[in-house]
Homo-oligomer: A and B are copies of this chain.
């Protein structure tokens, strides 16, 4: 490609937005052309995220100020709150059907209108686009993503819960029922909104669960597990908040099918991901830590035999802002725009 692809980032004043900027500033095939942030429109990116002070970036503008019909934009990353996203994207694609979109919100992740209405409390505002959108879990749906115009980037929790489990369901190594996903996330997953619950003083030196029994992200697990099995599956899922910035660790308790072993689990994961650049399956019996994927697009997965007969524990670790959000979004962009999939995503984890 002679010229660079022109990129717009909607919602650049949030953490997934700044993470996209961090990755794309060093991506050799793209140029950041538009950055929006409604409440901070008019400000420089450096005033909102001082780490970008040394670099040239466009100032923040409001979404309304962008003339989509004429904009020289090849691909839009949409890092807006769920709910408003669907109308924004519908508007953009109405004016410019040729633009590609990678959406980091939850708006297009559920393919089923009823499931969406159940979890989000209202009918979807862009049902045709909901039908068109491709669920961007790259390692599972790469072929569909290549042809997609609108990619629904997966959630951070769900990436860590779907990748280690779906191959086990597909290969019929584990039972679909009774799966327990106990997840622990860093605080950046909660975004940059000024909420009392996310103050340093409320989060540090403590640990707690939230959304117990009814967290929305579980809807993605239901969808992808069901696809793998061919019938409805209802896993247990509990998210917890860890006093750290980045990282999700999911401890997943599964029951083996009769005659299957933990070695079969491990083999199924190696078979699925052995050649993937961003999924690393550890040797059987080893398991990952979030700090060893911090800042990188890598998911690490481990498998251990559990004490009760016929039970196993699968543990995954990822960086919620990279593979769990903006890194996977760039990975999707690379596929959609025909770049080598790892371009701009080679950064190695920052530890300590």
Q: Which residues of A contact B (CB under 8 A)?
A: 15, 18, 22, 25-26, 49-55, 177-178, 180, 182, 184, 186-188, 190, 192-196, 198-209, 212-214, 218, 234-238, 240, 242-247, 249, 251, 253, 280, 282, 287-296, 298, 300, 304-309, 311, 313, 315, 317, 321, 346-352
Contacts and interface: CB of A to CB of B under 8 A. Distances in A.
Contact of A307 (B51, B214, B295): B214
A200 B189 CA distance: 11
A53 B243 contact: no
Contact of A206 (B188, B238, B244, B321): B244
B313 A236 contact: yes
Given A201-B188, A348-B26, A206 B54 contact: no
Given A15-B201, A192-B199, A234-B308, 6 more contacts: A206-B289, A208-B290, A208-B317, A213-B313, A236-B306, A238-B313
Contact of A195 (B188, B194, B307): B194
12 contacts: A49-B351, A50-B292, A50-B300, A188-B352, A192-B196, A202-B291, A205-B247, A207-B290, A208-B290, A235-B308, A238-B251, A243-B243
A208 B289 contact: yes
Contacts of A247: 205-207
A201 B289 CA distance: 13
A249 B289 contact: no
A180 B253 contact: yes
B204 A348 contact: no
A348 B25 contact: yes
A347 B51 CA distance: 11
B208 A288 contact: yes
Point out which of A199, A247, A305 has the most chain B C-beta atoms below 10 A from its C-beta: A199
B245 A251 contact: no
Contacts of A180: 180, 182, 253
A51 to B, nearest CB: 4
A300 B304 CA distance: 31
Contacts of A321: 352
B308 A201 contact: no
B201 A194 contact: no
A247 B242 CA distance: 12
A21 B130 CA distance: 44
Nearest to A52: B348
Nearest to A199: B198
A134 B50 CA distance: 33
Contacts of A244: 204-207, 243
Nearest to A25: B348
Contacts of A50: 288-289, 292, 300
A29 to B, nearest CB: 15
Which 10 residue pairs spanning A and B have beta carbons closest together?
Answer: A206-B291, A208-B289, A201-B352, A51-B349, A51-B292, A200-B203, A182-B182, A187-B200, A50-B292, A245-B352
